[in-house]
Structure 1
Amino acid sequence: MRTGAHTGYTARPASLSEAVPVLVITPADLIIPRWSTSPLSPTPDPLPWPPPPLLAPPAVSSSHDSSSHPAVSTQVLPRDRRGRHPPRASSIPPPSSTPTPPSASGAILGADLPGRTIIGENNVIGNYAVVGVKCQDLKYKPGDECFLHIGNNNEIREYCSIHRSSKSCDHTVIGHNNLIMGSCHIAHDCKIGSNNIFANNTLFGGHVVVEDCTHTAGAVVVHQFCHIGSFSFLGGGSVVAQDVPRYMMVAGDRAELRGLNFEGLRRNGFSDLEVRSLRKAYRKVFMPAISCQSSFEDRLAELGREIELLESPSVSCMVESIRTSFDQGRRGICKFRSWNLS
């Protein structure tokens, strides 16, 4: 039976002047008997903290053989602030007069890394998040300086892990006003922009570049060296192995382009004219007519000659994002489905 505050079993006295035993919880977490002349004490004992311990059941009296039914003695064990029993005295090792130096044990507590982690203002870092630790890159050489820079007003929730860079010539960078939900991972040398939302279990490999105002659903995995364009959306459970151009939406295992991120554009204040221009440009490149025999490169070049569309800054940014994804050292864009138009 767990006792509550100011609780315990007492017999009703025959009169108020009759002394009765009362169980009182002391600050030492032990219950001891105290004699009181009245059960209606005008100054009750303060509420106990930590909670009172468990009481063993009272002794059992029986007419049977005591060897088969031994009596149970009442024993109170103290508890710590978390309600746990301390180890028994016999299991506590005796203190050593000569403590073992840390180097002799071979254990490293924490990570004494050269370099530094810089965290800006008004950041919220949740419970058990690990920020600014050594990277998981086998090419990292012990002794190299490694860096992590975090901007302002970021919310990094519980169990996130953010690693420093793998080389002294590079940095892991996180911008401003990002919401990084629980159990996300940002690996070494990533470059994260501002105003992004990463849902739970979003995992970024090393050297990933994420621009501004992107949104990932849960359980998204992004291959190392990929680029995620601004205002893009990554569907839940996506495995992104190539670049995601700006303003676009991808989903699926080995994610494919699924159209423009219209909801994200609307939420971020894009005008109807800009959205219509982006839609027209997207259809020209990724949704050719059945009669069109041109290749993807030809359609992209043709879009670059559309002066009227290129007057829209959003279309120019989208074309630039697609073209740079095919530069040397880049991974190209995610595959797309050719929805032919009649």
Structure 2
Amino acid sequence: MATSVHPTAILEPGALLGEGVEIGPYAFVGSEVRLGEGCILHHHASVVGKTEVGPNNEFFPFSSIGQKSQDLKYRGEPTFLSIGSGNRFREFVTVNRATGEGGRTVIGSDNLFLAYAHVAHDCVVGSRCVFSNNATLGGHVRVDDCVTIGGLTAVHQFCRLGAYAMLGGCSKIVQDVPPYCLVDGNPARLRSLNLTGLRRRGFAEEALKSLRRAFRLLFEEGKNLSQGIEAVESSGEAAPEVVALLDFLRTTERGVTR
């Protein structure tokens, strides 16, 4: 599979392209970029900076990947962006490199970023996530695997979004979002377990029953977080999903959306 570069594209000296890469009209690839095999840059897409891209990523028109951090503390020191495989970056998506020398923004694999989504400096995004249109992450946000972020939702810096969480559209996220849960609102509030999403992801009904029992003890009986965790531990719930939920809650630094 041959690499293809349109005559109007700009490929700076030093850029490395894997086998089968396609660079469309007026696209731009910076000198320090490494593109894995099978990547596609549609017209007017740009990938710049110290950016490493795995195989089979697709960059739609006017996406801007690897630009320097927008953090006011950034002074031009060398920072990085790492992208896994099989991601799709739709029109006008922006992903920034890190702030602070040697820092790294990280994107996993098989994510879908819809138009105008933004990933700020020093974020870590897992795999198989969906960012709806205009979903926005502040700096240093961590997004675990299989998270869905609704359109026009903004996440405050340093927040963490737990695996399989669902964030409703137009939400304002200022604290951590527990895994397996659905939050919505401005500011966001915890609404329920993300049962529809979990079933679509293939979770067994027994696991969902365990999570429902844990959710009730944690969030529906008026206990504070420590009391809720203690109640779940005392109940003997030991499903892996419940263990993961408790581990997340114990390690929160910004507090939990409730």
Q: TM-score, normalized by length of structure 2?
A: 0.80
Equivalence for 2:63? 129
Gaps of 5+ in 2: 1-28, 33-47
Structure 1 residues 296 and 121, CA gap change in structure 2 (3 angstroms)? closer
- What is the Cα deviation at residue 167 of structure 1? 1.4
- What is the Cα deviation at residue 115 of structure 1? 6.2
Within 2, Cα distance between the matches of 1:304 and 1:164?
A: 40
Q: Secondary structure at the match of 1:322?
A: helix
Q: Secondary structure at the match of 2:74?
A: coil
Equivalence for 1:278? 211
Equivalence for 1:242? 175
| Amino acid aligned to 1:219 | L
Gaps of 5+ in 1: 1-109, 337-342
Equivalence for 2:94? 161
Kept in 1, the 8 Å contact 2:207–2:241? The answer is yes
Structure 1 residues 295 and 160, CA gap change in structure 2 (3 angstroms)? closer
Within 2, Cα distance between the matches of 1:121 and 1:162?
A: 17
Kept in 1, the 8 Å contact 2:49–2:67? The answer is no
Kept in 1, the 8 Å contact 2:154–2:172? The answer is yes
Within 2, Cα distance between the matches of 1:324 and 1:296?
A: 12
Equivalence for 1:299? 228
- Taking only aligned residues, the RMSD between alpha carbons, in angstroms, comes to 1.9
Equivalence for 2:195? 262
- What is the Cα deviation at residue 216 of structure 1? 1.2
Within 2, Cα distance between the matches of 1:320 and 1:211?
A: 13
Which has the larger Rg?
1
Kept in 2, the 8 Å contact 1:186–1:203? The answer is yes
1:226-246, CA deviations, whole angstroms, 9 ceiling, x for partnerless residues? 000000000000000000010
Q: Secondary structure at the match of 1:256?
A: strand
1:81-126, CA deviations, whole angstroms, 9 ceiling, x for partnerless residues? xxxxxxxxxxxxxxxxxxxxxxxxxxxxx99899610111110001
Equivalence for 1:213? 146
| Amino acid aligned to 1:176 | S
| Amino acid aligned to 2:61 | N
Q: Does 1:148 align with 2:71?
A: no
Q: TM-score, normalized by length of structure 1?
A: 0.61
Q: Secondary structure at the match of 2:106?
A: strand
Equivalence for 2:131? 198
| Amino acid aligned to 1:163 | N
1:254-303, CA deviations, whole angstroms, 9 ceiling, x for partnerless residues? 10100100011101111000000100010011111xxx7x5442222121
Within 2, Cα distance between the matches of 1:165 and 1:198?
A: 20
| Amino acid aligned to 1:122 | N
Structure 1 residues 116 and 185, CA gap change in structure 2 (3 angstroms)? same
1:58-86, CA deviations, whole angstroms, 9 ceiling, x for partnerless residues? xxxxxxxxxxxxxxxxxxxxxxxxxxxxx
Within 2, Cα distance between the matches of 1:301 and 1:246?
A: 18
| Amino acid aligned to 2:91 | E
Within 2, Cα distance between the matches of 1:235 and 1:115?
A: 33
Equivalence for 2:15? none
Kept in 1, the 8 Å contact 2:49–2:68? The answer is no
Within 1, Cα distance between the matches of 2:235 and 2:124?
A: 33
List 4+ stretches of structure 1 deviating above 3 A. Answer: 110-115
Equivalence for 1:333? 256
Within 2, Cα distance between the matches of 1:120 and 1:319?
A: 33
- What is the Cα deviation at residue 320 of structure 1? 0.9
1:170-214, CA deviations, whole angstroms, 9 ceiling, x for partnerless residues? 200000000000000100000000000110000000000000001
| Amino acid aligned to 2:59 | I
Q: Does 1:317 align with 2:244?
A: yes
Kept in 1, the 8 Å contact 2:57–2:86? The answer is yes
Q: Secondary structure at the match of 1:305?
A: helix
- What is the Cα deviation at residue 168 of structure 1? 2.0
Kept in 1, the 8 Å contact 2:218–2:229? The answer is yes
| Structure with more relative contact order (C-alpha pairs < 8 Å, separation 6 or more) | 2
Within 2, Cα distance between the matches of 1:115 and 1:161?
A: 13
Structure 1 residues 137 and 306, CA gap change in structure 2 (3 angstroms)? same
Q: Secondary structure at the match of 2:182?
A: strand
Structure 1 residues 141 and 201, CA gap change in structure 2 (3 angstroms)? same
The alignment covers a number of residue pairs equal to 216
